[in-house]
Amino acid sequence: GANYNVLWDKSDNALEFIDNAKASFGTGNDLEIVHNSSENHFNVSANTFFKGNIFWGVRNSSNQGVIEALTTSRTVDLYGGSTKVLSTASTGVTIRQGFNIQNSEFNMTTNGTKILDFETGGTNSVNFRHNPSDSSLSTFMKAIHGGAVELYHDADGSKKFETTSSGVDVTGSLSVANH
């Protein structure tokens, strides 16, 4: 608009945009950069990439890292407060300070095949399941909040061991060795 001025300030050697003035790029305004008195907006209508030869990141006003990417090793670090909480590497992901899962199921896969699965099913129990060679999920342990822990035999899925309020129940034979 007519009230949104842009000027070249020789004394600062800077192109200055007054609040709400837009810097537009691309034929169809594919990228707009706008600052009002309290926020900065990057309005994009196409893919957006941040490129750097060594490093790029997002930092807060105290210069603390929020997101840091080292482009030479293609690794990323995420921070919660001033603590690095997640890091990627060629060998996988490192999570620090705890790991919270919402919405009842967590899966670990290898080559697209589910190998370990934790699910709550919306109940007060957690089932630990894995994918044996026959490709069907098999429960090997169930933990019930405020109650039992159950262990299952992988071959037939039968419960073999269960904790109870008075001790344990064992189904089948029990071997005890003295070492």
- pLDDT by position in tens, the chain (length 179): 566 788 888 999 999 888 888 898 888 878 899 988 888 888 888 888 877 778 888 887 787 778 888 888 888 999 888 888 899 988 888 888 777 666 556 766 666 666 666 766 666 777 787 776 666 777 888 888 888 899 998 777 889 999 999 999 999 988 888 87
- Who's near 21: CB < 8 A, 6+ residues apart? 4, 5, 6, 34, 35
Helix (H) or strand (E) holding 77, with range, is strand 75-80
pTM assigned to the model: 0.52
> What pLDDT was estimated at residue 139?
81
pLDDT of residue 2: 65
Structure tokens at 106: 């967590």
Distance CA 137, CA 80 (A): 35
